[in-house]
Amino acid sequence: MTFRFRRLEALLGVPLAEATYRHFADLINVFDGREADDLDFKATYAGPTKSDSVAADVATFANSRGGVIVIGINDKQGVPVAQPGVSLADSFIRELHTAIMERVRPVPVYDIKSLPEDPGSLDNPKQGLLLIIVPPSVNAPHAVMDPTLKGMLKFPYRHESQKFWMSELQVAAAYRRRYTVALDSAQRAAQIETEVLAQLARSLGYSPLPQPVLTVSLAPEMPGDLTITAAELDRVRQDLVHDELLLGRSPGSAFFTAAQVGSCRFIASGPLHGRTAWTHLHTDGAASVVFPLEIRGVQGSTTAVSDTQIVLLTLAALRFFGRHAAERAGATGTARLTVRAVADVRLFPAADQPLAEAIDRLLKQRSQSCQPYDPEADLMIVNAGGAWSGKEPARNAYGESTVFLDDLLNDAPPLAAATGALAGALLQAYGVPEPRQIRPGGILVPQEWEEYRLAAADWAGKADIAMA
């Protein structure tokens, strides 16, 4: 389970994965620890309605913003008042699993975690608390069978600490919302990518050389809400100063050296390969970056760049975006990731008028050079020795994937896996089945990172990432 509940973690003082029996016991008689839209207390599930009750509670959280059901705590008007505990026997846990699997359709993602009262009884726990952890679902709304209506399916949802049942219109709206959320995030990713490309295009001067770039964008499916203030701008600037974005970069050497405020976003920039990298960090947690790519050679109309550089910059962007989206903006759940390599940003097929105008202005300057832009310019990826790493050139390669935001928050195996999946989706446009730097599942191959092999090995060792 990779979803995090930030309000609960702030309340408990530790990440949910590290919470113990004692952390929840300390909420007894604490008003701030009362039931809410992400927290529910149950003394136990028992009697003939046990299966119906646990199924309905799990579906309720899945259809809402997700939440945690704590079994083994009594409450009075939502405030926890006693922790009598509950049996942690395997048979009871199996009954809960069976009820959820049989009575909720479709079955949501969830996890059941035991918290024994006695820490020394981990091998054979008897009594304690059970947590049912339910992230918000991005699938169709979940239904449960209502025994009072002869098995008719009903759709529960949660508001504050109460359970309600959806009307027909609400169910229809929920289906539409589930089916359009992926489209909405895809459109959002395309929008913010175009905006950051426009930022770069407006800053470009004329050059007879190609201008290859890499863009990486993130659009959360459950957006956050960051308020822009002078204090927040100062915090962003301080974060940028201390952010070790790229592997192998000297500690304390800031990548983005300037930050300012734009419309509902922070805009930051920094030098890279003699040009300028730009990033937009939006208040809803969305983010996009455009990196100039270092040219490793030009053959006819084809420009060569390093595949290692693409993987390195993709990793840098995901490390950077995860913290902005989840920790700064408060976005949760899954996120749509996109990556694009463009042979020359001035030839990008822009649908956005400001970007089209900026590129057109630059194209009109081509009379200053005896070498006009080649509208058929391609990009090819190579390794350190200059050999082509792929078999196909492309002038506008694209890849996408979906991840849990929490997979991007820490230097850990899920981040490596997410990087490999996204970079791999892009490299397939060049005829490469998978990135040689990161194998499926996030296994790093340091010797394939070329000049960054020592930095990659050091990072993997510190982050407990498997290496081949």
- Tokens at 34, concatenated: 């009362």
CB 80 within 8 A of CB 27: yes
Neighbours of 113 (CB within 10 A): 15
SS3 271: strand
- As a whole number, mean pLDDT of residues 25-54 equals 92
Percent of the chain whose pLDDT exceeds 70: 87
Q: Please write the tens of the pLDDT for every residue from 344-398.
A: 887 776 655 556 666 666 656 554 554 555 556 788 988 877 787 877 888 889 9
pLDDT at 69 (0 to 100): 97
CB 415 within 8 A of CB 337: no
Across 152-166, 336-350, 361-375, least confident range: 361-375
- As a whole number, mean pLDDT of residues 31-52 equals 92
- As a whole number, mean pLDDT of residues 321-341 equals 88
pLDDT: which is higher, 431 or 371: 431
pLDDT at 246 (0 to 100): 82
Going by C-alpha positions, the residue among 418, 439, 344, 424 that lies closest to residue 390 is 424
pLDDT at 340 (0 to 100): 95
238 CB-contact burial (10 Å; exposed 0-12 / middle 13-18 / buried 19+)? exposed
Has residue 1 got a pLDDT over 50?
no
For the chain, give me the number of helices (H) and strands (E)? 10, 24
- As a whole number, mean pLDDT of residues 252-268 equals 89
pLDDT at 56 (0 to 100): 94
Cross-strand bridge partners of residue 342: 213, 396
- As a whole number, mean pLDDT of residues 299-314 equals 90
Cross-strand bridge partners of residue 336: 219, 402
pLDDT at 370 (0 to 100): 46
Going by C-alpha positions, the residue among 193, 452, 415, 416 that lies closest to residue 307 is 452
Indicate the Cα dihedral angle 417, 418, 421, 423, nearest 10°: -110
Neighbours of 119 (CB within 10 A): 12
Q: Please write the tens of the pLDDT for every residue from 91-112.
A: 999 999 999 999 998 898 899 9
pLDDT: which is higher, 386 or 192: 192
176 CB-contact burial (10 Å; exposed 0-12 / middle 13-18 / buried 19+)? exposed
pLDDT: which is higher, 161 or 368: 161
Q: Count CA atoms within 13 Å of residue 18 on its CB side.
A: 6
Neighbours of 162 (CB within 10 A): 11
pLDDT at 178 (0 to 100): 64
Q: Residue 83: phi, psi to the nearest 5?
A: -125, 75
pLDDT: which is higher, 368 or 185: 185
pLDDT at 146 (0 to 100): 67
**Residue located via tokens 């922790």:** 83
Report residue 289's pLDDT band, with 50, 70 and 90 as the boundaries: very high
- As a whole number, mean pLDDT of residues 206-211 equals 74
pLDDT: which is higher, 143 or 245: 143
- As a whole number, mean pLDDT of residues 39-43 equals 96
Q: Distance between CA 182 and CA 299 in Å, rounded?
A: 39
Report residue 436's pLDDT band, with 50, 70 and 90 as the boundaries: very high
CB 267 within 8 A of CB 279: yes
pLDDT at 350 (0 to 100): 60
pLDDT at 353 (0 to 100): 59
17-39 in b/e burial notation, b at 16+ Cβ within 10 A?
A: eebbbebbbbbeeeeebbbbbbb
- The mean predicted confidence, pLDDT, of the chain is 86
- As a whole number, mean pLDDT of residues 186-199 equals 86
Q: Please write the tens of the pLDDT for every residue from 63-92.
A: 888 899 999 999 999 999 998 899 999 999
pLDDT at 147 (0 to 100): 61
Residues 6+ apart with CB under 8 A from 4: 15, 16, 326, 332, 406, 409
Has residue 208 got a pLDDT over 80?
no
- As a whole number, mean pLDDT of residues 420-428 equals 95
Has residue 60 got a pLDDT over 80?
yes
CB 16 within 8 A of CB 9: yes
Going by C-alpha positions, the residue among 429, 430, 434 that lies closest to residue 419 is 434
Q: Please write the tens of the pLDDT for every residue from 444-467.
A: 999 999 999 999 999 999 999 999
pLDDT: which is higher, 280 or 382: 280
